[in-house]
Amino acid sequence: MKDEHEGLLREVAIPLKPTIISDGGPWAMHNMPCPICLKNKAVLILNTSHFYPCWECKKDGWITIRLPSWVHRFVGKLHKP
C-alpha cells in the first residue's frame, strides 16, 4: 500500500472491537486485521495481549509503536489541512 505519506506517522482507525477466542492453551483465534495492510490478520502476542503487524508486513520491515499523547498533539498541529 504505497502513498505519498509513506514513512510518516499515521493513525489507522480500525472500526472493529477485537474478538479473541482462547481455551487457555498456547493458541488463540481473533478477528483483528493487520494495522498496516488491513488485509491479513494481525499477530497477537498472548502474554501481553498486544497486536502487531502481520508476518508479511513484518517481513517488509513495518513496525507499530505506541507514542505518548504529546507526540499526537504535536503532529496533529503540524498536519492541519
C-alpha cell, 6: 509513506
Q: Are 14 and 35 in contact (CB under 8 A)?
A: yes
Instruction: State how far the Cα of 77 lies from the Cα of 81, in Å rounded to an integer.
Output: 10
**What's the whole-number mean pLDDT along residues 56-78?**
84
Give the pLDDT band (50/70/90) at residue 60: very high
Q: Where are the domains of the chain?
A: 20-78
Share of the chain above pLDDT 70, in %: 77
**What's the whole-number mean pLDDT along residues 29-42?**
88
Element (H, E) at 57: helix 55-59
Give the pLDDT band (50/70/90) at residue 74: confident
Q: Provide the whole-model pTM.
A: 0.60
